[in-house]
Amino acid sequence: MTSGDLNPMNSKVIGDAIAGSPSRSLWHQAGRRFRHNRAAMTSLWVLAVIAITSLLVPALWPHGIEDTYWDSILVPPTLENFHWFGTDANGRDLLVRVFYGGRISLTIGLLTTIVALLIGVTYGAIAGFSGGRTDSIMMRFVDIMYSLPLLFFIIILVTVFGRNIYLVFVAIGAVEWLTMSRIVRGQTLSVMEKEYVESAIAIGLPRSAILTRYIIPNVLGPVVVYVTLLVPVNIIIESYLSFLGLGVQEPLTSWGLLISQGAGQIDSAPWLLVFPATMLAITMFCFNFIGDGLRDALDPG
């Protein structure tokens, strides 16, 4: 945050005056702080470029992901024939596969996070909102799940339900919601003590309305931060599964699968590892910087 920032009391008063409602001013302020964070903004742009190219390149590039060129096998990166990233052992163009892999990795990262988000927010909000015995039973269950070696559990889920890409989403998401539910529960408990919730209860709003109108909007901040940090974690988990041969299957591909194939031929064709690994690393950097930036923006001081 910049040194010229106001203290929370003043900024709230001024924010109220400008935006008319306290909740909007909070996000306004956060947005402004975020835009001043150069690392986070750069990351946002870089990530946008990666996402857009991953979407467009496979459609526009002269080579398809399954096109094989038997006369150009394991060609190092070259400007000729549009094999800018070289070709793999089957004579397939690596560039198009890297961007196509990006499409799958990013999609999996986002979708698994959405699954985790839905389960975690609902679970945590219900636990925190109900309180008492329901809360302690629900959180005890989360404690139990925590003592599972989670990746082992994902591997069991994936082998059990077949190596279907959609099940990879569900398996990862179904395991990664635990921390989310803890965060949401903690936030809910603290929001529940606020005066506006008390007044909502006093005027007789139904519980569901209190939950959707007051609790969930006010616990969003930490959730947003955690989401940006969960996406890269899930991308890594997918890569991990693909690396073990349990995730995305050929001819589809993902960064993890490409890295796994590249790692196997690292001495003869290092570019097969270098390009997907670099793309993965850049994406990890971006998400981490954005997450840190959001945390600083939403929780100044």
Partner 1 sequence: MIRFTLRRLGIAVPTLFIIVTASFFLMHTAPGGPFDAEANLEPEIRENLIAAYDLDKPVTTQYWLYLNSIARGDFGPSLVYADFTTTELIAFGLPVSVKLGATAMLVAVLLGGFFGIVAALKKNQLLDHLIMGLAMTGIAVPGFVVAPVLSLVFGLYLNLLPIAGWNDGALANMVLPVTALALPQIAIIARLMRGGMLEVLGSPFVRTARAKGLSESQVVIRHVLKSAVIPLIGYLGPAVAGIMTGSLIIEMIFNLPGVGQYFVQGALNRDYPLVMGIVIIYASAIILLNLLADLAYGVLDPRVRKSFQ
Tokens 């209860």, located at residue:
201
| Under 8 Å between Cβ of 115 and 166 | no
Q: Does 119 bind partner 1 (CB under 8 A)?
A: no
Could you say which of 112, 239, 253, 254 contacts partner 1 (CB under 8 A)?
Answer: 239
Tokens 């096998």, located at residue:
73
Contacts of partner 1 in 129-158 (CB under 8 A): 143-144, 146-153, 155-157
Q: Does 288 bind partner 1 (CB under 8 A)?
A: yes
User: Which backbone phi and psi does 41 adopt, to 5 degrees?
Assistant: -65, -40
Q: Does 76 bind partner 1 (CB under 8 A)?
A: no
Could you say which of 117, 236, 279, 290 contacts partner 1 (CB under 8 A)?
Answer: 236
Interface pattern 155-174 for partner 1 (x via CB under 8 A): xxx-xxxx------------
Query: Rg (Cα) of the chain, in Å, rounded?
Result: 23
Dihedral sign for Cα atoms in the order 160, 166, 169, 173: negative
**Rounded Cα–Cα distance for residues 19 and 7 (Å):** 17
Could you say which of 260, 275, 279, 293 contacts partner 1 (CB under 8 A)?
Answer: 260
Could you say which of 104, 225, 230, 259 contacts partner 1 (CB under 8 A)?
Answer: 259
List the Cα angle 45/282/88 in 5-degree steps.
120
**Rounded Cα–Cα distance for residues 50 and 39 (Å):** 16
- Summarize as ranges the residues that interact with partner 1 (CB under 8 A): 143-144, 146-153, 155-157, 159-162, 232, 236, 239-240, 243-244, 246, 256, 259-260, 262-263, 266-267, 270, 273, 277, 280-282, 284-285, 288
